[in-house]
Structure 1
Amino acid sequence: MISIKEISDKTFWHDSLREFEDANIYQTWNFASLAQNEKIVKHLAIYANQDLISLAQVRIRAVPILNRGIAYIFNGPLWQKKNRENNFEILSDIFNALRQKFVVNQKLLLRIKPYIFSDKIENIDFIKNIDFKRIAKVRQYKTLVLYLDKDLDEIRKSFDQKWRNGLNQSEKKGLEIIEGNDSELYKDFLLVYSQMIERKKFKEYVNPNRIGKMNEELNTENKLKIFIAYKDKLPIASIVGSAIGNTGIYLLGASNEIGMKNKGSYLLQWEMIKWLKQKGCQRYDLGGINLDDNPGVYHFKSGITDKEVVDMGTFESYNNKLSKRIVNFGEFFRR
């Protein structure tokens, strides 16, 4: 029997994250509310009899009085338990339970973007049998993945020769690297980030100040890892990552003009890889790629690994046409 319990205990939530290989920063307690300013967030634990099989952080956006709108799960639900064979029957049961709660009982549109990638699971045909459809207009997340199952010498040798040359040069620049997870170090990241934005003048898709606020609320075990490169005591390059579950994630990075001249980003990526290896991560997600929109970043990251993967997409289910119209209307005006 599948049951869903709403969780109000933050400690229970973070303790339970340890049970899942696919645990990630996006499913930590305050990510949706602090990092992305969501107003209504539910934390759900899903059980098969008394066995915890899933965690899901659900964002709710509904029109008052009508109580129609969307329930959205981003990079979840978590379902890949450690030391257990995971199969699509379990995931199918989880999807069906969530559909029953939000689509059937609450008349909402349910949208799910699972944290599942093509290098792990190739066949997702099960989705066709549980009243969910892929949203074709939502671009799939594409990224580069570095596997961390080899020793560090072998990983370094696997880098593209030009990338290794950049790393070798950065190691001779006399840069000081400081790592940590506190708010003071994050301020140095924000300083370099602001200098980068001023130089590049590109559109921001994340709010680094909100990410910093979220990090302050995280428990010590799940806090972000911050690496800063200093030249003559001044911050010149920075990188922020996360290691929860079996995949490390590159979240944010920045470099000013001095950092670029000293190839600080090469050395910081190497420090991040060493830390993830020490943490026991099996994979390193380099934070997304888009060759058309950002070719420079693509070529930098592809020097670390050429293994491209995509997520399985975004899926939705609904019975209530009003909820669907409300969601479509809201998305139209956010374009």
Structure 2
Amino acid sequence: MNKESWNKFILENNGSFLQSYEWGEFQERACRRVFRFKCCGPPSSAGADFGEAMQAQFIEMPLPLGKKYWHAQRGPVMSRITKGQDFKEKIKNLIGEIKEKKCPGRIFFRLGLEWESGQGIEKVLLKLGFKQLPYDIEPSQTLILDITKSEEELLAQMHEKWRYNIRLAERKGVKVKFVISDITNFEYYFNEFYRLVDKGTSERKNIKHHPKDYYKKQLEINSEDIKFELFVAEYECKIIAANIVVLFGNRATYLHGATSSEHREVMAPHLLQWEQIKEAKKRGCSEYDFWGIVNEHTKDKRGQSWEGFTRFKKGFGGREVNYIGYWDYPLNKLWYFLYRLVQMARR
């Protein structure tokens, strides 16, 4: 499938970077198989094709005993005009296409549609035979900031303490740097990022991190459509905060973050976040996704660390968004039942 045409549809319909062609290539480099599906829209009265109405990129994930499942992270992506019955027909078509694609050992497939709750989509999925996961894979609650506003407006809508902290960090001499993967000192900055990630994880409960190579391979993703970039905050010649931000289409996503327990008084994370927002705005993005918060319904599942992250992110303003979560479609009901039993026992 052509990368350019694949991304064109995803971008035109405000899809997630997790459905980009490059994310699939990243997964393939991690030795996972990737499957892509395109479904065309219905013909018009004149016989012309409306073009692709839906695209779904699935990652094959291993399970014990040679079993596996397919996972569409934040997918499928549908054309913006999709509604009601049209949505149902597209999902039915996708189910049919997946069933036709023979794959020994596959027991279910998983959808993580980036659709906001409250539109009746959940009822449609239940009627089609999907089972809702009682937990998240990627966060279903997030905070999205409209960065088409001026810098003055963005500062004005922040909590006053956040504005103060940004100015404080500047006065204290915190410097923010944007690091690209092909500069000579990239290895130093990347190693500092991972040092903070590793140390921070050991200090906090309910927080996990990926292997070092996982982050490094992400930062090697750099094409015309998508870029993974490292931002660092430096104080007294030492890196004390570092984040990875993804730029895809009109959206910048704050994906990974790490902060030192030292020099907290200089408020480096506030300035770092603000400089990332300004850089995303400069690059032509219209929204900034803080990638995960908790609300009244999910805070008990995430723990105190997530409550702290949420307070920090909400201080910058933005609109709270609640997606419909993740949904499984069993292809082998017995094996799926056993899989869910094991998952519940582990949790």
Q: Which moved more, 1:307-316 or 1:126-135?
A: 126-135
Question: What corresponds to 2:17 in structure 1?
Answer: 24
In structure 2, the residue corresponding to 1:251 is in which secondary structure? strand
Q: Give 1:135's match in structure 2, choosing from 132, 135, 154.
A: 132
Q: CA, structure 1 residues 32+261, in 2 after alignment: closer, same or farther (shift >3 Å)?
A: farther
Residue 301 in 1 paired to residue 298 in 2? no
Q: Give 2:245's match in structure 1, choosing from 241, 245, 256.
A: 241
In structure 2, the residue corresponding to 1:18 is in which secondary structure? helix
Cα displacement (A) at 1:157 = 0.3
In structure 2, the residue corresponding to 1:29 is in which secondary structure? helix
Residue 223 in 1 paired to residue 216 in 2? no
Residue 254 in 1 paired to residue 258 in 2? yes
Give the whole-Å Cα distance in 2 for the aligned partners of 1:54 and 1:266. Answer: 38
TM-score scaled to structure 2, two decimals?
0.78
Give the whole-Å Cα distance in 2 for the aligned partners of 1:138 and 1:326. Answer: 17
Question: What corresponds to 2:53 in structure 1?
Answer: 53
Q: Is the 8 A contact 2:250 2:285 kept in 1?
A: yes
Q: Which runs of 5+ in 1 are unaligned?
A: 1-6
Residue 101 in 1 paired to residue 97 in 2? yes
Per-residue Cα deviation, 1:159-206 (whole angstroms, up to 9, x for no partner): 011111111211212122211331614333223323433544663154
Per-residue Cα deviation, 1:6-47 (whole angstroms, up to 9, x for no partner): x3x545544554333123245443458549956222123332
Give the whole-Å Cα distance in 1 for the aligned partners of 2:335 and 2:58. Answer: 16
Per-residue Cα deviation, 1:35-83 (whole angstroms, up to 9, x for no partner): 995622212333236512332211234779x9965322111112245xx
Cα displacement (A) at 1:127 = 1.9
TM-score scaled to structure 1, two decimals?
0.80
Question: What corresponds to 1:39 in structure 2?
Answer: 32
Cα displacement (A) at 1:287 = 1.8
Q: Give 1:124's match in structure 2, choosing from 114, 121, 125.
A: 121
Q: CA, structure 1 residues 125+333, in 2 after alignment: closer, same or farther (shift >3 Å)?
A: closer
The 5-angstrom pairing of residues 1-335 of structure 1 reads: 7=1, 9-10=2-3, 12-14=5-7, 16-25=9-18, 27-30=20-23, 34=27, 37=30, 39-48=32-41, 51-61=51-61, 69-80=68-79, 85-103=81-99, 106=102, 108-118=107-117, 122-124=119-121, 127-128=124-125, 131-139=128-136, 141-182=140-181, 184=186, 185-200=189-204, 203-207=207-211, 209-290=213-294, 291-292=299-300, 293=303, 294=305, 295-305=307-317, 307-318=319-330, 320-325=332-337, 327-328=339-340, 331=343, 335=347
In structure 2, the residue corresponding to 1:70 is in which secondary structure? strand
Q: Which runs of 5+ in 2 are unaligned?
A: 44-48
The number of residues matched between the two structures is 322
Letter in 1 for 2:250: N
Q: CA, structure 1 residues 296+124, in 2 after alignment: closer, same or farther (shift >3 Å)?
A: same
Superposed CA RMSD:
3.4
Quote the sequence identity (%). Answer: 21
Letter in 1 for 2:95: R
Cα displacement (A) at 1:126 = 6.2
Cα displacement (A) at 1:98 = 1.5
Q: CA, structure 1 residues 63+274, in 2 after alignment: closer, same or farther (shift >3 Å)?
A: closer
